């Protein structure tokens, strides 16, 4: 019922299978590496830039493509919307620490921020980007 294959026949049958698996793997990984992330397409600038050295009262935020909104989190504190500076025409959302603000001043050393950003037409579809900067 089952026929035994010779070694040459086994190799001849295996070669197309191996070639197909290798080709599929190459295509899969090359497609993933060339696909832009949501950050690449949507975030035009992080403020300050990652790893930047800034003064204590520096602005922190994000510059997005139009049609996107965001929430800022600074050193683990969600910044209330009424403390955000929103330039709607530019889709720039920033926060500046100060008296009476959620963050009054940045501590010297490393501080980190997160932006949770979303399309204004679909606020449930959210993306997050984290970065850190140094306060001098």
**Model confidence over 33-53: pLDDT tens digits?**
444 456 678 999 999 999 999
Residue 4: strand, helix, or coil: coil
Overall pTM surpassing 0.75 (yes/no)? no
- DSSP H or E run through 69: strand 68-74
Predicted confidence (pLDDT) at residue 15 exceeds the cutoff of 50: yes
Asked if residue 116 and residue 63 are part of one domain, the reply reads yes
Asked if residue 46 and residue 25 are part of one domain, the reply reads no
Asked if residue 58 and residue 105 are part of one domain, the reply reads yes
Asked if residue 78 and residue 130 are part of one domain, the reply reads yes
Burial class of residue 47 in the structure, from the number of CB atoms within 10 Å of its CB (0-12 exposed, 13-18 middle, 19+ buried): buried
Task: Label residue 14 by pLDDT band (50, 70, 90).
Answer: low
Asked if residue 58 and residue 11 are part of one domain, the reply reads no
Asked if residue 24 and residue 75 are part of one domain, the reply reads no
Instruction: State which residues form the domain around 86.
Output: 38-135
Residue 110: strand, helix, or coil: strand
Asked if residue 109 and residue 73 are part of one domain, the reply reads yes
């Amino acid at each position: 019922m089952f026929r035994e294959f010779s070694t040459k026949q086994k190799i001849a049958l295996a070669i197309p299978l191996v070639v197909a698996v290798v080709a599929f793997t190459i295509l899969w990984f090359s497609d993933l590496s060339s696909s832009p992330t949501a950050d690449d397409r949507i975030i035009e600038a992080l403020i300050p830039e990652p790893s930047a050295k800034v003064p204590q009262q520096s602005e922190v935020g994000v510059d997005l493509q139009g049609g996107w909104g965001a929430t800022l989190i600074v050193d683990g504190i969600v910044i209330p919307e009424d403390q955000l500076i929103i330039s709607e025409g530019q889709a720039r959302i920033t926060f500046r620490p100060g008296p009476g603000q959620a963050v009054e001043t940045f501590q010297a050393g490393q501080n980190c921020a997160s932006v949770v950003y979303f399309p204004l037409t679909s606020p449930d579809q959210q993306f997050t980007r984290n970065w850190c900067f140094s306060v001098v």
